[in-house]
């Protein structure tokens, strides 16, 4: 008798848990959750093979709202937990959900090493430039001068740039999107899921309670064409309501130039997300409003050896050469002491 072994066709509703979503009304997290639930059914990965790992913060409630396996871990340690999980269970699709506070403050060290190892996981960092769960303190991405409950005279810490960190760690897939740009966000999440190696996505996410409007320049219909630039592989960097401005390199520095006044598209910087050298991707990560339009899209997408794959290859090689290990024998070998 024939047996149907094909996977069931899943829908976004299949990935929605039975938990009430407890983010503030109007929070940008809802959009990211909705796009994630739309993308997952297109990947062909069963729910029981999908795991969301989070740390602490508003973003880290994410695993509760997905009808998959989930781990709500401790502050900043989601990348470390995900490393152990993916290394021991390479068959799983592992997502790390973190925020600018959770991932870049106490979790900065773990995040950096997960990216440099090129573990086959997906990291989504919600960036609202504030601590939301603890009620409005400044975060590692808050701009200089930001007045908050913990910086009443203005923040004096230089802010971190998440994409610059990821590219500096030789991230093999680095991208940015915006919570309200739902079609673009869905595209970026899907591409990240399909990438082999660590994918790192920064999502500009509005906290409408404690930092409302932080990204208005990038989301307002009247301004976003001039304040953002969508990266497309192999195409020149053109932006503006009338598509009449571009980015050109002047030596090692980018500059905005008008098109049509002695400047053609061929004079502009062309985006190459597959360039093995990350310098141009890093340059793009440094472009920020108001001096430049801020790039969104895929900054870098290259193939490199994956940590979990190499690790398990070494384990298999060691077992082949030396046989299965014996923990009890290991524990009682060599010099031992009895503590009375």
Chain segment 153-187, per-residue pLDDT in tens: 999 999 999 999 999 999 999 999 999 999 999 99
- Contact by Cβ (8 Å): 63, 70: yes
Alpha carbon of 158 to those of 20, 51, 295: distances in Å? 37, 34, 21
Domains of the chain, residue spans? 12-231+272-311, 236-270
CA-to-CA distance for 257 and 234, rounded, in angstroms? 19
Q: Rounded to an integer, what distance in angstroms lies between the CA atom of residue 46 and that of residue 295?
A: 33
pTM of the model: 0.94
Tell me yes or no: is domain 12-231+272-311 CATH 3.40.50.970.
Answer: yes
Task: Name the phi and psi angles at 229, rounded to 5.
Answer: -140, 125
| Closest to 125 in 3D by CA, of 174, 81, 158, 191 | 174
Q: For the chain, which residues score pLDDT lower than 50? A: 1, 4
The pLDDT tens digits for 239-273 are 999 999 999 999 999 999 999 989 999 999 999 99
Total Cβ atoms within 10 A of residue 110 = 21
């Amino acid at each position: 008798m024939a047996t149907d072994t094909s996977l069931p066709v899943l829908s976004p509703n299949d990935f929605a848990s039975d938990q009430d979503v407890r983010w503030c009304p109007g929070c940008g997290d809802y959009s990211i959750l909705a796009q994630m639930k739309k993308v997952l059914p297109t990947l062909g990965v069963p729910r029981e093979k999908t795991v969301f790992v989070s740390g602490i913060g508003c973003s880290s409630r994410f695993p509760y709202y997905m009808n998959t396996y989930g781990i709500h871990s401790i502050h900043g340690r989601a990348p470390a937990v995900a490393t152990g999980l993916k290394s021991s269970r390479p068959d799983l699709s592992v997502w790390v959900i973190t925020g600018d506070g959770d991932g870049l403050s106490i979790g900065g060290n773990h995040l950096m090493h997960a990216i440099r190892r090129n573990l086959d996981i997906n990291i989504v960092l919600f960036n609202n430039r504030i601590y939301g769960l603890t009620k409005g303190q400044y975060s590692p991405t808050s701009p200089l001068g930001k007045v908050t409950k913990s910086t009443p005279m203005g923040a004096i810490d230089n802010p971190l740039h998440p994409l610059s960190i990821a590219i500096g760690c030789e991230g093999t897939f680095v991208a940015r999107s915006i919570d309200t740009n739902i079609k673009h966000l869905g595209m970026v999440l899907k591409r990240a899921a399909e990438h082999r190696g660590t994918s790192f996505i920064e999502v500009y996410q509005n906290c409408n309670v404690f930092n409302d409007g932080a990204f208005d320049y990038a989301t307002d219909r009247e301004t976003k064409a001039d304040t953002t630039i969508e990266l497309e592989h192999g195409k020149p960097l053109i932006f503006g309501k009338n598509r009449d401005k571009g980015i050109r390199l002047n030596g090692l520095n980018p500059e905005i130039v008008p098109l049509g006044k002695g400047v053609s598209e061929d004079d502009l910087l062309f985006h190459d997300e597959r360039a093995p050298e990350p310098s141009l991707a890093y340059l793009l990560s440094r472009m920020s409003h108001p001096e430049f339009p801020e790039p969104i899209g895929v900054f870098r997408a290259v193939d490199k050896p994956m940590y979990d794959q190499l690790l398990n290859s070494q384990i298999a090689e060691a077992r082949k050469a030396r046989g299965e290990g014996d923990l009890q024998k290991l524990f009682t070998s060599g010099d031992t002491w009895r503590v009375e």
